[in-house]
Structure 1
Amino acid sequence: MKIGWKSVAWSAAALLLLLSIPTKLIVVTLFLLMVPLVVLYTMLKPIPFLVHAACIGLASFALLGSYSLIPLTFGFFFLIPSAIMGHMYKRRLSARTVVTVATIVLLAQFLVQLTIFSIQYDIDLSAELSGMIEEALKQLQTSGTLLPANWASDAAVSIGDAFVKMLPSLLLLSSFLLAVVTHALSRRALGTMGIVVPAMPPMKNWMLPRSLVLYYLIALILSYAISPDNNGFWGTVAANAVPVLQFAFIVQAIAFFYYLADMKKWPRAAPFLIAIVILLFHPFYLVGLIDTAFPLRRYFTKQ
């Protein structure tokens, strides 16, 4: 198949993903939507890429009509980070640089869009979330239960405030996962067409900087020193820094067991199964914390 047909095929894939956004497949679609756009930008020059993107948008509008506003909004949102990733692939930058830059760009876009949306529509996000959660909780509250009369309302307010306070860390983790999934799938897709894209270092070689341990201790002290009801700057920093750093140590723990599996010649499926257990049981982040703070791997190497 010639390069022209390949670009048409990937444009069709992007269109199908846009058309699936109004369906129940939206969660899966959002993690796949950037892939055809990244592939198209890497294959094409900027002007042809914009032509393809415009054709995708027009086709989506023609097929969905008034329902195309949300899909087109998502498509335009992911167009910028997709083009940036494709541009970095053309420049042969390292996979770590691509993923880091894509994560930062996605996070910045999420924050800007959220700010614009809140200002434009004058929405109190915490109040809106509390209202939706309260409606859901009221279905559990009946006259025959022993729960307090205002249980649903009080719980909804607490959950809404906690969600808003944790929003930066949730957006950061979402941006990181989007960047990683897009890189992994785009690299494989481009590889089938003979376009070589640098891979991430093997999981067993991943190592966090030791300074993150100090940052984690500071964030942990702040989280205990500051009241959970404190919505100020430092309270927000502590509430978001702790889970983000713990997630980083979870990844480090997975990398450690991949290293251990390689050293001990375990079956290939072993570290993957261990990774699932680590993701399911949160306290395993302590393994990653220890591996980052101390030369744990050197001990197993000597053995």
Structure 2
Amino acid sequence: MKFRLATVAWSVIYLLLLLTLLTPLRIITVFLLIVPGAVLFSSLPFKGFLVHVIPVLLIIALLDVYSLLPAIYFLIPSIMMGRIYKKGGPAFQALMTGMGIILAELLVVLFIATYSFGFDLSQYLRDQAAISASIVQQVLSANPMFSNMNWTAEDTQKLGTMLIGKIPYVLIMTSFILAMITHALARPALSSLDVPVRKMKPAREWRLPRALIWYYLLAIVIEWIAGSSDSSWIQMVSISMLPLIHACFIIQTIGFVYFWTHSRKMSPVIALLLSLVVLVFQPLRIIGIIDLAFPLREAITRSKK
């Protein structure tokens, strides 16, 4: 009975979070929307999950049908992460799966907005840069202290280019933060429901799938296609895929650094400092690529013997 009441409570929490989409609180609560679905999917049979979730979605549809779209949007990563938790999969796998699904959904939304509604994100950011430049110019003109400073059209263009260049990192970081918050909250919640969730592996055991090398080659091909295409969506996919894969290679490199220092019985502080170096000098991700493509760790283990 306690278990049933707990899952009903999570359904109520899910409904309340979805209702906040109609209020200014959505700026905060949007980061929590994946959690209830992941908890319910992990702790219930599929039919029980539907019994808990469908009434919530129906209530939302009756109150505001447009809120049903974000509800379904966040339910997809909930199910995918919950599926891994239910099977007892690695926490890192759940985290990366959630991040990948969220990022893919963001790109799909951008695709629909581009081709169905004629939305051009790059042009929108350039327009925002022009508006910001106009405000800056007015402030400079109104203040005698800055009378010698002028905001030129070239400065506006640079600002627009900088904003466009930040898009992939914003998409990736948003996906990562959403997945991380979900895992951080879902794990203790599931533990209270007697659903075991594995902890994150030690950094020295971080190893990504070798198939990432093929995704890297695919991203390079997409980048080549985007270079000769006028499609803003294709260009967005291109500039989003490579930074994401590069981030994965950096994670792999950090995992290798911790593995190497651990095998040499070095202090964890040294591993941390070397990891910071990897984060600062990102071309060092080549180590992660080599570690994925070749049995580098096995070679180090054999050499010690």
CA offset digits 1:11-62 (Å, max 9, x no partner): 2333443355544672x53343211211112222334433433444466689
Aligned to 2:150: 147
Quote the RMSD (CA, aligned, Å): 4.5
TM-score (normalised: structure 1): 0.69
CA offset digits 1:195-226 (Å, max 9, x no partner): 12344543211235678689879989x99xx8
* Whole-angstrom CA distance in 2 between matches of 1:289 and 1:91: 33
Is residue 102 of structure 2 the alignment partner of residue 106 of structure 1? yes
TM-score (normalised: structure 2): 0.69
Map 1:104-253; keep pairs closer than 5 Å: 104-141=100-137, 142-143=140-141, 144-151=147-154, 153-159=156-162, 161-162=164-165, 167=168, 171=171, 174-208=174-208, 239-240=239-240, 242-253=242-253
2:206 maps to amino acid:
W
Distance 1:136 1:50, change over 3 A: farther
Aligned to 1:77: 73
Counterpart of 1:139 in 2: which secondary structure? Answer: helix
Query: Which structure shows the higher helix fraction?
Result: 2
Aligned residue pairs: how many? 288
Relative contact order, CA 8 A, sep 6+: which one is greater?
Answer: 2
* Whole-angstrom CA distance in 2 between matches of 1:238 and 1:48: 40
Identity of aligned residues (%): 30
Answer whether contact 2:250 2:288 (CA < 8 A) is retained.
no
Counterpart of 1:140 in 2: which secondary structure? Answer: helix
Deviation at 1:6, TM superposition (A): 0.6
Deviation at 1:243, TM superposition (A): 2.7
User: Of 279, 282, 294, which aligns to 2:280?
Assistant: 282
* Whole-angstrom CA distance in 2 between matches of 1:275 and 1:30: 35
2:74 maps to amino acid:
F
* Whole-angstrom CA distance in 2 between matches of 1:121 and 1:217: 31
Distance 1:38 1:235, change over 3 A: closer
Deviates more, 1:136-145 or 1:12-21: 12-21
Answer whether contact 2:81 2:98 (CA < 8 A) is retained.
yes
Counterpart of 1:251 in 2: which secondary structure? Answer: helix
* Whole-angstrom CA distance in 1 between matches of 2:238 and 2:101: 23
Answer whether contact 2:3 2:193 (CA < 8 A) is retained.
no
Aligned to 1:293: 290
* Whole-angstrom CA distance in 2 between matches of 1:54 and 1:274: 49
Deviates more, 1:103-112 or 1:89-98: 89-98
Aligned to 1:42: 42
Answer whether contact 1:92 1:197 (CA < 8 A) is retained.
yes
Deviation at 1:105, TM superposition (A): 3.4
Answer whether contact 2:107 2:237 (CA < 8 A) is retained.
no
Deviation at 1:7, TM superposition (A): 0.9
* Whole-angstrom CA distance in 2 between matches of 1:229 and 1:147: 34
Deviation at 1:2, TM superposition (A): 0.5
Distance 1:126 1:289, change over 3 A: same
Map 1:13-32; keep pairs closer than 5 Å: 13-21=13-21, 22-23=23-24, 26=27, 29-32=29-32
